[in-house]
Amino acid sequence: MLIFDEKKYAIDLLKNKEFNTYRKRDIERYILIRYLASEGLSSQEIRKEIDKFPLVGCEYLDKKEVDIIYNKILEKALSQLLVTGVVVNIYKSEIDIINSIENEEARNLLFVLLVYYKWAVEQSNTNMYFFSRYNNTKMVLVNDLDMWKNAGLMKLRKAERYKVNNILINKGLYVEDNFKSNNYFYLPFSVDSGDIAFSVSNFDNILGELLYYNDPDSYKRCQECGMVIKKTRSPKKYCTKCAKIVKNRQNKEYYNLGKTKSNKTVEK
């Protein structure tokens, strides 16, 4: 479960009025609380909003017991800062190494790993990484499934995905270790200085950023959110999500305009 921008995620939760997941709803609730707090809402106002996302299993508890649970949730959620507005700089030296890999799947995976790694090490949530004395660097918690999804590797069989991982390991570009039953990694070629090739601030299509950089004639950005989309023969301006939003907005504006004209006609 990768959430690069908690503000955007929380806004969608409020809009849809329901959680996106079942198993990770506790994390989603924390994100929602952090966002509401960042908007200046008081504890009472936050409680009123998150009551719209009821806790499972509290149906038979009295009000005092439920209040204790909610207070603990609020305290835990607000112990971390809202993650939003993060910008990841990708340097020319890093891109040159990534583009030198002949295998396309390995190249795409390494880029996604790089963006995720550089984003994760800057977070206040220290559960996401630890400092390895052996490697003398921060190692970041990784979920292979999340990386594969963002790198577009889900079309491959699981064994083939691990073969892609092994290409990076054998080249010494990806170092993984297990710590307290979790997998962590770091990228020896990652740097934080030099000539910047480009910056990533929209994480809705991470791989698209690499494709756009390498082949700008085949890709462009959504005019609404800035996400990278593939060019088509039709004059496509928006990503799928924004196209629906823009269409609904235009319909609403058209309806309001017609309503205004109708009222003026009646007045005459």
Check: CB of residue 195 under 8 Å from CB of residue 92.
yes
pLDDT in tens, 46-94: 988 888 887 777 776 778 888 888 889 899 999 888 999 999 999 999 9
Partnered with residue 139 across adjacent β-strands are: 130
Reported as a pLDDT band with limits 50, 70 and 90, residue 198 is very high
**One-letter amino acid for residue 268 of the chain:** K
Q: Does domain 88-212 have CATH number 1.10.10?
A: yes
Phi, psi of 114 (to 5 degrees): -65, -50
Distance of alpha carbon 250 from alpha carbon 237, whole angstroms: 14
Model pTM score = 0.84
Q: What would the pLDDT profile of 213-223 be if each residue is shown by its tens digit?
A: 999 999 999 98
Would you list the domain boundaries of the chain? 6-77, 88-212
